[in-house]
Amino acid sequence: MSDAEADRHREKMEKRKAVQDAEVAEKTIEKGLLIVNTGPGKGKTTAGLGLVLRALGHGWRVGVVQFIKGAWDTGEKHALKAFGDRIEWHTLGEGFTWETQDKARDIAAAEQAWAKAEELMADPTIRLVLLDELNIALRYDYLPIDAVVAAFRARRSDLHVIVTGRNAKPALVEAADLVTEMGSVKHHFSAGVKAQEGIEF
Amino acid sequence: MSDAEADRHREKMEKRKAVQDAEVAEKTIEKGLLIVNTGPGKGKTTAGLGLVLRALGHGWRVGVVQFIKGAWDTGEKHALKAFGDRIEWHTLGEGFTWETQDKARDIAAAEQAWAKAEELMADPTIRLVLLDELNIALRYDYLPIDAVVAAFRARRSDLHVIVTGRNAKPALVEAADLVTEMGSVKHHFSAGVKAQEGIEF
């Protein structure tokens, strides 16, 4: 790299930094965020778990409610035991609807899980709540979307809430501060690769 | 809900479960995956961290290399100290290119980070390696894409590698088993909300 090239790079980056700094300075509001991770791709739950980890690193207490139990005992639940009572983990949902095959039982489980979610959101020692696969319960109308969105809007101002699951309802997206759509570009299941320990569970 | 409705639900779910089970049975290959989290949305790094947590929950050793240091000390790094020597964390990259403003220094830092990545991938006690923001170093051609992809293709068969960062190069996508594009549907920065402790860092 010539000196002239190095100089051009530095000048370009100086300008870029000025733009970046100005953008950061414009943003002044602090608030608890309603975060939605949706879409058909991977990473909705794991991105939520990454935020749980980040929050724990800041010394916060964190609550987790799993609305769908899933077919296996998950690695993350085991790992988070390292943080003792700094994390409250509740698996209250049943398995996927095609596993239980019982709609009344699915609805009862969703209602129980939502009651726990409301309890965690009301706990002043908790700064972040992850409601894993809540979108599934909303999608099948196991819980009333209006009541759920109203509870989110009424949350205290420093509480972060993360909702995961495919097919987020429009009313939830409307109420959210941050919505990410995970898109599947390429998936190993298509190549006959099975669900892998440590990756899928 | 009437009995007839409950029955219809059960029948529908029985059929769905049969389809689901058949799909699962078709997938028989076990292998370490090359996973890429890319796209402009949030969740690329945090989804990687969620997999790190999952892996730790399975008792694995894990390696992390941060190719971009970022502007702050991150919560997750602190939280992962709870796992002692089960995790090897290396922050070898410099800040963003517009922070360093020095291309030669950026290249040297990327090369050093990649050398550490190769060392971790060669360590037989490590089952998962997270190469955070490697895509940034590749995008600016601070590292040769061909050599990086060749190293991934030559990895041992049970090693999972996660690469994060925007603008994944086509050759990396081609080599990967699982590629997710995080799309930004809605972002709180647009509403003047600043980067939040516990969420962005």
Q: Has residue A17 got a pLDDT over 90?
A: no
CATH architecture type of domain A31-183: 3-Layer(aba) Sandwich (3.40)
Per-residue pLDDT tens for A64-78?
999 987 645 578 888
- Cα–Cα dist B182/B189, whole Å: 17
B49: closest CA of chain A, how far (Å): 5
- Cα–Cα dist A56/A173, whole Å: 26
- Cα–Cα dist B125/A43, whole Å: 25
A45 touches chain B (CB under 8 A): yes
Q: Has residue A183 got a pLDDT over 80?
A: yes
Strand partners, A63: A88, A129
pLDDT at residue number A116: 97
Amino acid making up residue A178? L
Question: Which residue in B has a C-alpha nearest to residue A194's C-alpha?
Answer: B27
B24 touches chain A (CB under 8 A): yes
User: Which of A185, A54, A40, A28 minimizes the C-alpha distance to B35?
Assistant: A185
| CB spacing of A50 vs B74 below 8 angstroms | no
The larger pLDDT score, comparing residue B200 to residue A56, is at: A56
A22 touches chain B (CB under 8 A): no
Helix count (H) and strand count (E) of chain A? 8, 6
In chain B, positions 59-78, which contact chain A (CB-CB < 8 Å)? 60, 74-78
- Number of Cα atoms under 13 Å in the Cβ half of residue A156: 14
Per-residue pLDDT tens for B32-41?
999 999 999 9
Residue whose pair of structure tokens reads 């790079």 in the numeric block: A9
SS3 of residue B105 by DSSP: helix
pLDDT at residue number A195: 80
Q: Has residue A108 got a pLDDT over 60?
A: yes
pLDDT at residue number A71: 43
Structure tokens at A95: 């398995």
Q: What is the DSSP letter of A42?
A: S
Spatial CB neighbours of A62, under 8 Å, sequence gap ≥ 6 = A52, A55, A56, A86, A87, A88, A126, A127, A128, A129, A130
**Contact yes or no for A168/A200 (Cβ under 8 A):** no
**Contact yes or no for B37/A177 (Cβ under 8 A):** no
B80: closest CA of chain A, how far (Å): 8
Minimum-distance CB partner of A186 among B5, B80, B178: B178
**Contact yes or no for A37/A166 (Cβ under 8 A):** no
Q: Has residue A130 got a pLDDT over 60?
A: yes
| CB spacing of A58 vs B75 below 8 angstroms | yes
User: Which of B45, B113, B89, B74 minimizes the C-alpha distance to B105?
Assistant: B113
Strand partners, A163: A36, A131
pLDDT at residue number A125: 97
Summarize the confidence of residues A127-148 as an average pLDDT.
96
Summarize the confidence of residues A30-35 as an average pLDDT.
90
- Number of Cα atoms under 13 Å in the Cβ half of residue B150: 5
Spatial CB neighbours of A130, under 8 Å, sequence gap ≥ 6 = A48, A49, A51, A52, A62, A63, A64, A65, A162, A164
**% of chain A exceeding 90 in pLDDT:** 61
Structure tokens at B45: 């790094």
Is the torsion defined by CA of B116, B122, B123, B129 positive or negative? positive
CATH architecture type of domain B31-191: 3-Layer(aba) Sandwich (3.40)
In chain B, positions 93-132, which contact chain A (CB-CB < 8 Å)? 97-104, 127-128
Question: Which residue in A has a C-alpha nearest to residue B6's C-alpha?
Answer: A103
- Cα–Cα dist A124/A129, whole Å: 12
- Cα–Cα dist A194/B31, whole Å: 9
pLDDT in tens, chain B (201 residues): 788 888 888 888 888 888 878 777 777 777 899 999 999 999 999 999 999 999 999 999 999 999 987 645 578 888 999 999 999 999 887 666 667 778 888 899 999 999 999 999 999 999 999 999 999 999 999 999 999 999 999 999 999 999 999 999 999 999 999 999 999 998 887 777 778 787 788
pLDDT at residue number B1: 72
B151: closest CA of chain A, how far (Å): 20
Per-residue pLDDT tens for B152-182?
999 999 999 999 999 999 999 999 999 999 9
- Cα–Cα dist A48/A164, whole Å: 8
Q: What is the DSSP string of A140-194?
A: TTSS-HHHHHHHHHTS-TT-EEEEE-SS--HHHHHH-SEEEEEEEEE-GGGGTBP
CA distances from B184 to A17, A56, A177, B123 (A): 23, 25, 11, 36
| CB spacing of A198 vs B60 below 8 angstroms | yes
Average pLDDT score over chain A: 89
